Chains A and B, each alone.
Chain A
Amino acid sequence: MKNKEIIKKAFKQSIPIMCSYLFVSIAYGIMMNEAGFAWYVALLVSFLIYTGAFQFLLITLLSVGASLLTIGVTALLMNSRQLFYSLSFIDIFNKMKQKWYMIFTMTDETYAVNCNLEKQNKEEVMFYVAFFSRSYWLIGTVLGAVLGNLIPFDLTGIDFCMTALFIIIFMDQLEKNKDHFPAIVGVITAIICLVVFGTQNFMLPSLIISSMVLLVKQGGTGYE
């Protein structure tokens, strides 16, 4: 594939991320603005940290003047799930010249899209998906912080496009793999953890417990 086609393909793959990221990052910019932070502080956070939920929580933490220890531990706990995303891409990223950029730009959403790419020119497409997604996030942050509440539409609910994309990717995975055990483990563990640990804290225990179940299973009856 020519470079132009690769970029086009990556852009197409990134459209659901665009809908979600612009919406969420504009909301983030608005909230930073309302909390009294200058637009460049919002941009700096989005530029350096680049993770959804934690950035929102950081607004509150900074506003109440939480200690650096509290902020550090919160970042550690909320973002530990990133570990699991990187695990699946060690081999591919190690081959890429943009390795560190790819590691730095891995998010829930780019992880999902990357999981579902065809083999052809996979690395290049992954790079541009990461690049586009990060651009949406930065543009939205500045838009929200500068224009704030001037945006006249009520777009509440548009972030469902990400849920829809995740479900589609999941359906493809179910079709491609005969073994549905990992999917079932994931759903059941996540629901139980959601009930037990609550909406803020369930991701990390879900990922740890379900990976452990997979490990135990492959040690026992075994995967080929």
Chain B
Amino acid sequence: MNKYILGAIVLSAMITFLLRALPFLLFKEKELPEWLKKIEKKLPMTIMAVLIVYCLKDLRTQMTTLFFPCFLACLTVVFTYKWKKNTFLSIILSTVVYMIFIRL
């Protein structure tokens, strides 16, 4: 491992950590600002919505091959979870559906 590689790794690590820590450094001692308090409770829902789109992002470039596996697997999650309320059952079933249909 040469200096360049080590330097690149350490630099990336520092930037990534600073990004994770920034809100804690900014709002250290004092109370959270009013505007932040107001959306703080709403933000998780928005972020989850964005994360789901993130998981399905490859549909944008591989619509033809991924549409049916994604569609069927998502349907499986939604319906089995509505029906049984069992997280593991829904995860296992939908993942199996996905893994089968991307191979067809």
Q: Which residues of A pack against B, CB within 8 Å?
A: 15-16, 19, 37-38, 40-41, 44-45, 48-51, 54, 58, 61-62, 65, 68, 71-72, 75-76, 79-80, 82-88, 90-91, 93-94, 99-100, 103-104, 106, 108, 111-112, 115, 156-158, 160-171, 173-174, 177, 179-187, 189-191, 194-195, 198-199, 202-203, 206-207, 210-211, 214-215, 218, 223
Contacts and interface: CB of A to CB of B under 8 A. Distances in A.
29 contacts: A16-B87, A41-B9, A75-B11, A76-B15, A79-B16, A85-B20, A86-B23, A87-B36, A106-B20, A158-B99, A164-B73, A168-B77, A169-B48, A170-B45, A170-B52, A171-B82, A173-B48, A183-B46, A183-B49, A185-B46, A186-B45, A186-B50, A202-B57, A210-B50, A211-B43, A214-B43, A218-B35, A218-B38, A223-B42
A79 B49 contact: no
A80 to B, nearest CB: 6
Nearest to A222: B38
Query: Which of the listed residues A87, A158, A160, A164 has the most CB atoms from chain B within 10 Å of its own CB?
Result: A164
Given A108-B51, A171-B78, A177-B45, A75 B15 contact: yes
Assign chain B's interface to a size class: 35 or more
B42 A182 contact: yes
Interface string B21-40: 11110010000100110111
B43 A71 contact: no
Secondary structure at chain B's binding surface: helix, strand, loop or mixed?
Answer: helix
Given A54-B12, A157-B98, A168-B77, A93 B48 contact: no
Contact of A199 (B5, B9, B21, B58): B58
A79 B73 CA distance: 28
A195 to B, nearest CB: 7
